[in-house]
């Protein structure tokens, strides 16, 4: 897996930069001469959808693939191809290159994607998940002290070696926590998941911040233990649905169709009767994880002292105030580390109007679902 990621990271995408024009109110103008052709409204369309089975917060895309909720809404004769992205940046690059039109990704790559309009215009159109312990997880070496609470655990990180994949949601969370609590690690290391795993195994790091389901796998394998999450300092994590602007402009019928299907997928995930089925879907689309590790990542109840909360995931669907606040703060962070050139997104980078209209049409309000933490005794799998 590491080789696959590195190979993609090394690939240089050569895309002709084109000047984009936009009209007020978030609509897309016709000035973009390089846009793709998706056919006339109502005609069959072929979509390539990037999604992340290895990021729990965006698992509605995993559910969508086998359940095919989109078949109910897309024009007859349409086809959909799903492409696994081992990290959000891979999906962003594919969308910028015109190889994918829709992408499920975490907050950081989603935000970055909207700032590349000199290459291709991408928009955030929905929130597929919000939580406090899906990306925002502090893990420590197994011989770390037993802490009475999260704040005691975080203060222990003073003078310790802490690793994160820098530029990711984990980096934003870790730096926010350190700033709020005045913590100064002796080393703040930029490491990917594989290196962090190895670091815990051989005792080279004291702690790390990592997302689900990898966090649950490291704990299950006895390589690390949980010590804190985002609820210690009221820090959210999130995942979003991103679409190409030329698709939005040319095929609002397709956008509405996919977002109706996304609503169905989120409601399916939120129904506790479907928990076992959801985990089987994820297991079939991932490698290197055991069924119980995946179940723990989305449904497992974590002790309060280690950062656990009664709710593992909120499914807002639309762009709620909480989602907007996360986007605002994450944008400022990305600008501060020079990952993007702006500290505030252009107004039309985020387009909540489609999801808002669908909620109204279907007589629903946000959130469309909540996934509550379940005791380990509720797990009935292998």
pLDDT of residue 89: 92
Asked if residue 219 belongs to a domain, the reply is yes
Range of the domain at 223: 137-232
Same domain, 281 and 361: yes
Same domain, 269 and 371: yes
Same domain, 243 and 222: no
Which residue ranges in the chain fall short of pLDDT 70? 1-34
Same domain, 111 and 248: yes
Asked if residue 254 belongs to a domain, the reply is yes
Same domain, 281 and 245: yes
Same domain, 220 and 71: no
Pairing of strands 207-209, 161-164: parallel
The tally of CA atoms less than 13 A away on the side-chain side of residue 77 is 5
Rounded to whole angstroms, the Cα distance separating 349 from 141 reads 40
Same domain, 91 and 183: no
Across 123-161, b (16+ Cβ under 10 Å) vs e yields bbbbbbbbbbbbbbbbbbbeebeebeebeebbebbeebb
pLDDT of residue 23: 31
Asked if residue 184 belongs to a domain, the reply is yes
DSSP state for residue 188 in the 8-state scheme: E
pLDDT of residue 31: 35
Question: What tens digit of pLDDT does each residue of 58-68 get?
Answer: 999 999 999 99
Question: What tens digit of pLDDT does each residue of 76-111 get?
Answer: 999 999 999 998 999 999 999 999 999 999 999 999
Question: What tens digit of pLDDT does each residue of 224-238 get?
Answer: 999 999 999 999 999
> How many separate domains does the chain show?
2
Same domain, 110 and 258: yes
Six-digit token string for 338: 């020079």
Q: What angle do CA 367, 368, 371 make, to 5 degrees?
A: 85
Question: What tens digit of pLDDT does each residue of 314-350 get?
Answer: 999 999 999 999 999 999 999 999 999 999 999 999 9
Which CATH number is 194's domain given? 3.40.190.10
pLDDT of residue 34: 62
């Amino acid at each position: 897996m590491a080789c696959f990621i590195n190979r993609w990271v090394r690939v240089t995408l050569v895309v002709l930069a084109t000047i984009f024009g936009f009209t007020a109110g978030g609509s897309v103008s016709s000035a973009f001469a390089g846009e793709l052709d998706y056919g006339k409204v109502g005609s069959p369309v072929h979509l390539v959808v990037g999604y992340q089975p290895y990021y729990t917060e965006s698992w509605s895309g995993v559910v969508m693939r086998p359940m095919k909720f989109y078949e109910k809404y897309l024009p007859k004769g349409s086809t959909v191809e799903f492409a696994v992205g081992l990290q959000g940046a891979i999906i962003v690059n594919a969308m910028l290159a015109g190889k994918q039109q829709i992408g499920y990704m975490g907050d950081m790559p989603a935000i970055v994607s909207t700032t590349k309009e000199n290459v291709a215009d991408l928009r955030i159109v929905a929130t597929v998940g919000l939580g406090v312990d899906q990306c925002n997880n502090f893990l420590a070496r197994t011989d770390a002290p037993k802490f009475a609470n999260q704040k005691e655990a975080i203060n222990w990180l003073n003078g310790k070696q802490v690793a994160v994949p820098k530029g990711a949601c984990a980096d934003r969370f870790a730096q926010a926590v350190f700033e709020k609590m005045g913590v100064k690690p002796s080393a703040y290391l930029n490491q990917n998941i594989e290196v962090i795993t190895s670091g815990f195994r051989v005792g080279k790091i004291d702690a790390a911040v990592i997302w689900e389901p990898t966090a649950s796998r490291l704990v299950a394998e006895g390589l690390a233990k949980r010590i804190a999450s985002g609820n210690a300092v009221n820090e959210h994590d999130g995942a979003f649905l991103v679409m190409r602007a030329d698709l939005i402009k040319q095929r609002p019928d397709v956008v509405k169709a996919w977002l109706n299907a996304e609503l169905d997928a989120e409601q399916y995930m939120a129904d506790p009767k479907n928990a076992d089925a959801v985990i089987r879907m994820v297991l079939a689309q991932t490698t290197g994880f055991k069924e119980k590790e995946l179940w723990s990542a989305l449904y497992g109840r974590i002790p309060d002292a280690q950062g656990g909360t009664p709710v593992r995931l909120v499914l807002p669907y639309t762009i709620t105030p909480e989602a907007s606040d996360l986007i605002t703060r994450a944008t400022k962070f990305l600008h501060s580390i020079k990952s993007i050139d702006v500290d505030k997104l252009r107004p039309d980078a985020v387009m909540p109007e489609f999801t808002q209209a669908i909620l109204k049409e279907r007589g629903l309000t946000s959130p469309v679902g909540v996934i509550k933490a379940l005791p380990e005794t509720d797990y009935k799998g292998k």
